[in-house]
Amino acid sequence: MIVIHAPASIRHEPTGYFRRGQTIPHPEQAERYRILRGAAEGAGHALAEAADHGIEPLRAVHTDSYLDLLRTAWGRKDELPGIGEEILTGHFARPQMQARPEGLLGLLGYHMADTSTPIRAGTWEAIHGSAQAAVTAADAVLEHGAAYALCRPPGHHAYADSAGGFCFLNNTAIAAERLLAKTGGPIAILDIDVHHGNGTQGIFYGRGDVLTVSVHADPANYFPFYAGYASETGEGAGEGANLNLPLAHGSGDDAWLGTIAEGLHRIAAFRPAALVVALGFDASEHDPIGALKVTTVGFRAAARAIAAAHATVLLVQEGGYLCDALPQNLVAFLVAFEAARRGYARRRPPGWLRGR
């Protein structure tokens, strides 16, 4: 498996995170990149650094005003006397508020959903590098049939003009848009992170050329709270092109795998030109902020099912937080995925696709 990564990923290194009434060490640490990269390299996968494709692939998904804020915010820190190592705001826009302000604190609140996405000295370089890993991997998957984009920071909670949930740029959506442009589409996204991919859903909700399917823990009392319900099916041209499959908290392998199978069945009917998988490992039974009980055996089984679903599959790293199981689950998934692909390739002609 070719693994695309960006060394600049470590330049965003937040410290504290206000969660459930207290400040805790930030779960989305730079160490995630080091651990995942080390695990992939140790398992014998081929590593390649992301190329810099510039701002245009990001502009295909995100608004110019949002990108401009992310790119320039740290350079404007002197507008806020007393700022230390990161910029945060306690003021957030609500739907009933009308204007986009000019001041930095107001702009951060306008473009951010919570306090999990502080701007630091190296934040832009890190998130830009993570997005470039997704773009480079999208190009690679058309040549190799499969690739893994080791994106960190993650991205699936980022909307076209908003950060949140540790995410700034939506790597999964950027990769899908890249593949759409390269193949003519349509493209399917399967999100198996424990959290609903609300940003990805929001970006494509009114479109019919990208199918978004998310398997996640019930958001009624879990992040992202305000999206991820089964009743959300798309709107306008996108009606029917969004499928949410929420699971009861504490669900284990059987329920999770059965729901993934349901999502893959819908994807097969959509007949996409490529499949993008938002690959979160925070559904693990050992994840420190997860809500499901998926085992390493479950991740192996999911990998085999996904490998059987399409000839062109891009894996984009999303969540999965610091615990001993994190690198084990990545290696188990990639090994099972590759073995299954080899098996299916021997039995089917080039370009095979279940459901076509």
CB 298 within 8 A of CB 267: no
The SS3 of residue 126 is helix
Question: Pick the catalytic residue: 45, 111, 157, 310?
Answer: 157
Determine if the peptide bond prior to 224 is cis (ω within 30°): yes
Looking at residue 74, what DSSP letter applies? G
Beta strands in the chain (DSSP E): 2-5, 16-19, 22-25, 46-49, 86-87, 119-120, 146-149, 187-191, 210-217, 242-247, 274-279, 313-317
Active site residue 157: yes
Take residue 201 and report the two structure tokens written for it.
């859903």
3-state secondary structure 31-60: HHHHHHHHHHHHCCCEEEECCCCCCHHHHC
Cβ neighbors of 354 (< 8 A, separation 6 or more) are: 268, 308, 309, 310
| Residue 333 buriedness (CB in 10 A; 0-12 / 13-18 / 19+) | buried
CB 214 within 8 A of CB 245: yes
H-assigned helices in 163-295: 171-183, 198-204, 253-270
The SS3 of residue 243 is strand
Q: Return the closest-CA partner of residue 302 out of 193, 198, 229, 210.
A: 193
CB 289 within 8 A of CB 321: yes
The set of catalytic residues is: 157
